[in-house]
Amino acid sequence: MDILILIAISSLYFFLPKGVLKYFNIILTAALVLVTSLKAATVMFSGAEFNFSFSLWSQNIVLSLDNLSSFFVLIINFTIVTATVFSFQYMDLYNKKTRAETSLHYFSFYTLYWSMILVTMLQNTICFLVAWEIMSLSSFMLVMFEAEKASVRKAGINYLLQMHIGAVLLLVGIIVLNSTTGSWEWSALKTYFSQYSNPGLFFVLFAGFGLKAGFIPLHTWLPHAHPAAPTHVSAVMSGVMIKLGIFGILKAAFALQSDTLMIGMIVLAISVISGISGVGVAIIQHNLKKLLAYSSIENIGIIGIGIGIGLIGMDMQNATLTWMGFAGCFLHVLNHSLFKSLLFYGAGSVYFATHSVNIDSMGGLIRKMPFTALLFLIASMAICGLPPFNGFVSEFLIYNGFIEALQSGNVFIKVLMIFSILGLTTIGGLAIYCFTRAFGIIFLGNPRSQAAEHAKEMNWQVMVPQILALIMIVAIGIFPEIFIIPVNRILSSHLPIVQAVEYDTTFLRNAGMAGAGFIALVALLWLLRIIAFRKKKVEETVTWNCGYSAEAPKTQYTASSYAENFSHAMDKSLNITTNYHPIDETEVFPTKRHYKTHSESLIEQKLLLKPLRVLYAMLKRLAFVQTGQTQHYILYAFVLLIALLLLTIFNVI
């Protein structure tokens, strides 16, 4: 009931003065965070479920919090808190927006928040779909905040259309579920899967939820919507909103009764392809937020790999393999929400300081924004799966799952796991390549623009949410066995195969202690450096450039040149176009030239845009009927009536 009251209060956004809105937003968000977090934490640590029901159109609607939904609610709340605090100063960029536009933005942001909470709690499939649509529509309004830009309008419409395709797929799955079981509840999934073939309905739901999550080839909205939205919105969309697609897939996966080997193999293959493709395209991006968006596809792939391994373990009746796969999946859902939101906050800080997200226009920001640089570096290391940070823990669990499958599976499973290990290793290697490029070009070297030259840190209030995310990143890296406890409870309550097994998490504890030792060693070396240099004069000078002492920004690596070896070898598969007129041998005094590369998703070009162009060409041929003459339109209606009459007379219709 508290949740419904707070939702009703949000209408006040449209009546308050513009200067009060951000304060009201923090208060209202904090209230809903407090209410839902207390309930979710109680459920998570006590094991008891929270249920609230009410009647709507003769239907009994149940809001329920179990271990699974509580896990997602707590992740949503943490990210919403950090995003709300970050937006407090970041929204100053949009001071020229009218009160109505600002009110709509805050209202949509709050609506996105409570709709995500309801998605995790609603058990009725129709009400779930309504909340799902509210979530999509509110996030669409947030993406369209700068609708005066043509690129933003295009990204927003693209996002809205694809979300409705996903909703139609979910509706088809819900109708099939109801027509066979007579129930409008998600709990009927187990009944359906016990009586009918499992793959058909599962993959209909997987496609619907996968569109939200961003699995390839269902990802084409994601790299356009994230760069178009304000940074705090991008952090929420990437950090938690797309994870609700994973939430839906997990609900379906936990209900499966058969064919889990085939389903797991397909999910594993899609996930490996998503991971490699996502990070591969991220490497060649010049737009920082677009790079982070493609990186989200990569991490959704890693989460999907965990689901695939867990499903294969279910088929093999291997409790340890099932546990490792799903535990890695859940931990990576949490981990990605932390380091990806922190990376977006870093991108937002850079945009606030330079008014650009073009990586090639930056450089040298580590001297202007040292705190942001440090946070971005740690988040980059975490997303690359490097110890002693949280990304390493979840990927370490998934790698252990691969090893378990190699030890206990048949020859076919062993071959499958070997290729999957190579795939995840490739993802990790490319991620390191991607984020050394991003961090190096943005923060190291010399400024490449006046904006980068005069950049400065945002206020301390903006640093608070980033420090909170940093604390969680380090805490999970050092004390992973603590965070695996709620995951164990979720898996025990939803998967009978793992209920009676005690899992040895010593390897996680050892990894955490090794990480703590590494941090202590770095701190000790830093302390020794301070002591050694405390009485010495330290001077700074430019790096020796083979006798060329000028600090010209053009002598540095650019984002394109850094990725040249990778992009040149894969320019066809990455769909890279280069705009450059080469210098002829006879051109003694070359004229001024520009070098520009651009990449478009090959899947988007072939599967989405090409059919749309064909459809547009067909519709353009029919445009002659739009004459603008009223009598012609009356004639069309008259001809239609005559045609219907004739068809009726001859019993055609």
Read off the pLDDT of residues 206-220 as tens digits, 9 standing for 90 and up: 999 999 998 988 888
Q: Do residues 340 and 230 touch, judged by C-beta distance below 8 A?
A: no
On the 0-12 / 13-18 / 19+ scale of CB atoms within 10 A, 629 is exposed
Q: Which among 344, 338, 349, 341 is positioned nearest to 372, based on CA atoms?
A: 349
Q: For the chain, what is the mean pLDDT? A: 86
Residue 597 clears pLDDT 80, i.e. is over it? no
Residue 313 clears pLDDT 80, i.e. is over it? yes
Band (503; pLDDT cuts 50, 70, 90): confident
pLDDT recorded at residue 600 = 64
DSSP-derived secondary structure letter, 651: T
Q: Do residues 597 and 579 touch, judged by C-beta distance below 8 A?
A: yes
Report how far residue 203's alpha carbon sits from residue 209's, in angstroms, rounded to the nearest whole number.
9
pLDDT recorded at residue 568 = 63
Q: Do residues 211 and 218 touch, judged by C-beta distance below 8 A?
A: yes
Mind listing the pLDDT tens digit for each residue in 19-68? 889 899 999 999 999 999 998 998 888 877 777 766 666 667 778 888 99
Q: Which among 324, 329, 301, 304 is positioned nearest to 313, based on CA atoms?
A: 324
CA angle 229, 215, 114 (to 5 degrees): 50
Q: Which residues partner with 50 through β-bridges?
A: 65
Does residue 287 sit in helix, strand or coil?
strand
pLDDT recorded at residue 110 = 94
Tokens of 134: 């509210």
Residue 541 clears pLDDT 80, i.e. is over it? no
Does residue 65 sit in helix, strand or coil?
strand
Residue 505 clears pLDDT 80, i.e. is over it? no
List, in sequence order, every beta strand (DSSP E) within 420-539. Answer: none
pLDDT recorded at residue 550 = 63
- Given phi > 0 = left and psi -120 to 50 = alpha, else beta, which region is 638? alpha
Site of tokens 């020859």? 411
pLDDT recorded at residue 602 = 62
Q: Do residues 50 and 42 touch, judged by C-beta distance below 8 A?
A: yes
Q: Do residues 343 and 383 touch, judged by C-beta distance below 8 A?
A: yes
Residue 608 clears pLDDT 80, i.e. is over it? no
pLDDT recorded at residue 54 = 67
Site of tokens 């109505």? 100
Band (507; pLDDT cuts 50, 70, 90): confident
| Cβ within 8 Å of residue 387, ≥6 positions away | 477, 511, 514, 515, 518
pLDDT recorded at residue 569 = 60
- CA dihedral of 177, 122, 169, 619, whole degrees rounded to 10: 140
Residue 571 clears pLDDT 70, i.e. is over it? no
Q: Which of the pair, 4 or 338, is modelled with greater confidence?
A: 338
Spans of all domains in the chain: 1-258, 260-534+556-562, 603-649
Mind listing the pLDDT tens digit for each residue in 630-641? 888 888 888 888
pLDDT recorded at residue 226 = 84
Q: Which residues partner with 63 through β-bridges?
A: 52, 122
Mind listing the pLDDT tens digit for each residue in 288-297? 999 999 999 9
| Cβ within 8 Å of residue 572, ≥6 positions away | none
What whole-number percentage of the chain has pLDDT above 70?
A: 91
Mind listing the pLDDT tens digit for each residue in 424-435? 999 999 999 999
Report how far residue 415's alpha carbon sits from residue 420's, in angstroms, rounded to the nearest whole number.
9
Tokens of 217: 């080839």
On the 0-12 / 13-18 / 19+ scale of CB atoms within 10 A, 324 is buried
Residue type, 33: V
